[in-house]
Amino acid sequence: VRWLDPDTGLEDEEATLRCHLPTPISDTQYLCSSPAQYAALVDAEANERIWLRETPPGDAEPVPLRGSHFRLVDDEYLVYVSIEGELRAARWYGVDRPVGRSVALISGVRR
């Protein structure tokens, strides 16, 4: 990761985990897609990746969240494009808990 200062040029550089289509949620944390489209929260400062999980229907255990273009809306909802091409939204409880069961907002979305 390179942090650039528009006035002085390169300010800092640090090796970090791969993070596709990052969306910042704090100064050091980003919502990302892995190359295989698994959702993760990457902390650039600690160089850590936390895989996000979602709550499936019924009483099943949480499963890995897959998709791309993850965005946090109003610090309450995670909106993303599923691997099936649907714009989906789920309740965001923070990184320590699985996201809620997602619902389709729009079908047929292309990436």
| Domain spans, the chain | 20-106
Weakly modelled stretches of the chain, pLDDT under 50? none
Q: What is the pLDDT of residue 16?
A: 56
Q: What is the pLDDT of residue 8?
A: 79
DSSP-assigned beta bridge partners for residue 104? 88
Chain centre to alpha carbon of residue 75: 13
The residue whose two tokens read 């969240």 is 65
d(CA 111, CA 100): 23
Q: Tell me if the pTM is above 0.85.
A: no
Q: What is the pLDDT of residue 13?
A: 66
| C-alpha dihedral, 27 to 29 to 33 to 35, nearest 10° | 100
